[in-house]
Amino acid sequence: MNIEDLVIEDPERRIFRVHRSVMTSPEIFALERERIFDRNWLYIGHESEIENPGDYRRREVGGRPLIFIRGKDGVVRVFHNTCTHWGAKVCRLDQGNAASFQCFYHAWTFNNVGQLIAIPDAGGYPQDFNRPELALKSPPRVDNYRGLYFVSFNPAIEPLPDYLAGAKDYIDLILDQSEAGMRVVAGTQLYTVRANWKLMATNSLDTYHAPPLHTTYFSYMAKFKGLDYEAETNASAMRAGGHGRSLRNGHGTSESAPGGLARPIAHWHPMFGDAAKPEITRIRARIFERFSAERAQMMCDTFRLFLIYPNFVFHDIMAITIRYFEPVGPDAVRLTVYALAPKDESKDQLELRLNNFVSFLGPGGFAHPDDLEAIESCQDAFRSQEVEWSDFSKGMNRDPEVMDELPMRAFWRQWHAQMLGHERANQFDDPRSVEHGAAAGGK
């Protein structure tokens, strides 16, 4: 099938469908490496992970082994984790602090700003041997937005703030919650899922699945809080006050006003216990002092799932988490998940936050195992090649609601445009969307 035919969008019939071969084809996967992961900004880490000179984290981004490091001069850099001699990895630990890295193969040594500082038997090379030319290499573009660092292997890519587009507003909603700044909490969830990476991307934006898939969690919460499960999870209650939205450039969000069975961390409820109430109340009051009532209410009284295209997710629900996923094959994706918290948060509040995070979104929690089972079930069922299409049409007949699939359509439009060789999709919202408009044309 031609790439042009992999996505069907028919606004008149309110149909949006994606051919399932995009989830299974090795050829599609190889083309994604070239046209998506080699061309976009990709998340690598947060500044709090490398606070001190010499701090480093080993990462894999866009299929490349990288070192995310703060040099002795305080500057954050990214290096390809490969010796410029014969190519072995110079960094062999996942994290630490180092003044230098020595290749275990031939002992070439590089300092933490990437310079080649030692070569055994240097006399074997001419006096004009160009050591600076053999320094550790960096991706062509490295930049950050408010401490969130991204890399791109495309030297001609647009500036990061332009690329983030409407996602900046949602990043700000999270990072502005703390006057002291945010930090990544120590501890990593790292696991591989037997599913295509795009299933993880679309699942990360989806709230339509919540009532039928996460029945264990909602039943538990209803029983704990003395609420009526059926009333609290009916479609009208779950979607009230929420919306789905394209943030341009493939980014999207599903934002909800919490119902009876869910509350953001800045809104107290009995599950947290009476001891937590004073601090949560104080945090909430301070947010309302610092910002307009409308913005403060968005921070404290709504929660959101949002995706920064192609593979970076913020979950501002139950706790603040950042999740990025690295494709390892057409039917496998590696996930890395961290919790984000205010730097000055009390020990008790941090424990509450992490317990809330792990109990819902952790790999052994109430909800996330349901998600993984569902997307792995999809991947396995794609073996029935006679069933060719997945449908993403929900909500095309109305202004977008939180359980509609508009953010997923925005993702697929950008994916399809880039697979066709364009920089951007010509359209980023449904024609009926309240906020639709003309995006930058494909190039």
Least confident of 182-186, 263-267, 366-370, 387-391: 263-267
Question: Residue length, the chain?
Answer: 443
22 within domain boundaries: no
Least confident of 20-24, 58-62, 228-232, 401-405: 228-232
pLDDT score of 268 more than 60: no
**CA triple 161-165-168, angle to 5 deg:** 70
**CA triple 349-351-357, angle to 5 deg:** 105
434 within domain boundaries: no
Q: What is the CATH number of the domain that holds 59?
A: 2.102.10.10
- Of 152, 174, 203, the one marking the end of a domain is 152
Average pLDDT of the residues in 383-406: 93
Q: Is the model more confident about 421 or about 207?
A: 421
User: Checking DSSP bridges between strand 303-308 and strand 141-145, what pairing results, if any?
Assistant: unpaired
Spatial distance between the Cα atoms of 142 and 154, rounded to a whole number of angstroms: 10
Share of the chain above pLDDT 90, in %: 67
* 70 and 205 fall within a common domain: no
Question: Could you tell me if 339 and 357 are in contact, meaning their C-beta atoms sit under 8 angstroms apart?
Answer: yes
* 145 and 259 fall within a common domain: no
User: Checking DSSP bridges between strand 100-102 and strand 109-111, what pairing results, if any?
Assistant: antiparallel
Q: pLDDT value at position 438?
A: 33
The predicted-structure confidence for 235-248, as pLDDT tens digits, reads as follows 554 555 678 899 99
116 within domain boundaries: yes
* 201 and 348 fall within a common domain: yes
* Total domains, the chain: 2
5 within domain boundaries: no
Q: pLDDT value at position 427?
A: 82
* 197 and 62 fall within a common domain: no
* 314 and 404 fall within a common domain: yes
Question: Could you tell me if 41 and 78 are in contact, meaning their C-beta atoms sit under 8 angstroms apart?
Answer: no
Average pLDDT of the residues in 225-231: 55
Question: Could you tell me if 191 and 351 are in contact, meaning their C-beta atoms sit under 8 angstroms apart?
Answer: no
Sheet bearing 100-102, strands edge to edge: 100-102, 109-111, 116-118
* CA-closest candidate to residue 143, choices 127, 162, 170: 162
Q: pLDDT value at position 211?
A: 77
* 242 and 353 fall within a common domain: yes
The predicted-structure confidence for 75-113, as pLDDT tens digits, reads as follows 999 999 999 999 999 999 999 999 999 999 999 999 999
Written as one letter, the residue type at 389 is W
* 200 and 323 fall within a common domain: yes
* 245 and 320 fall within a common domain: yes
Structure token pair of residue 103: 């290749």
Compute φ and ψ for 120, nearest 5 degrees.
Answer: -60, 140
* 147 and 189 fall within a common domain: no
Peptide bond into 159 cis (omega under 30): no
3-state secondary structure of 117: strand
pLDDT score of 440 more than 50: no
Spatial distance between the Cα atoms of 99 and 47, rounded to a whole number of angstroms: 18
| pLDDT band at 369; cut points 50, 70, 90 | confident
Q: pLDDT value at position 435?
A: 42
Contact residues for 260 (Cβ-Cβ < 8 A; gap 6+): 225, 227, 232, 237
Share of the chain above pLDDT 70, in %: 88
Contact residues for 418 (Cβ-Cβ < 8 A; gap 6+): 35, 36, 39, 40
Average pLDDT, the chain: 88
* 205 and 126 fall within a common domain: no
Least confident of 25-39, 144-158, 287-301: 287-301
pLDDT score of 158 more than 50: yes
pTM: 0.91
**C-alpha distances in Å from residue 168, one per residue of 31, 78, 144, 162, 172:** 28, 23, 12, 9, 6
Least confident of 221-230, 299-308, 406-415: 221-230
Contact residues for 383 (Cβ-Cβ < 8 A; gap 6+): none
441 within domain boundaries: no
* 214 and 354 fall within a common domain: yes
3 within domain boundaries: no
Enclosing domain of residue 337: 185-264+302-419
Spatial distance between the Cα atoms of 21 and 390, rounded to a whole number of angstroms: 10
Q: What is the CATH number of the domain that holds 392?
A: 3.90.380.10
The predicted-structure confidence for 43-64, as pLDDT tens digits, reads as follows 999 999 999 999 999 999 999 9
* 147 and 203 fall within a common domain: no
| DSSP H stretches of helix in 165-303 | 167-175, 197-203, 210-213, 215-225, 229-233, 235-239, 277-290, 293-301
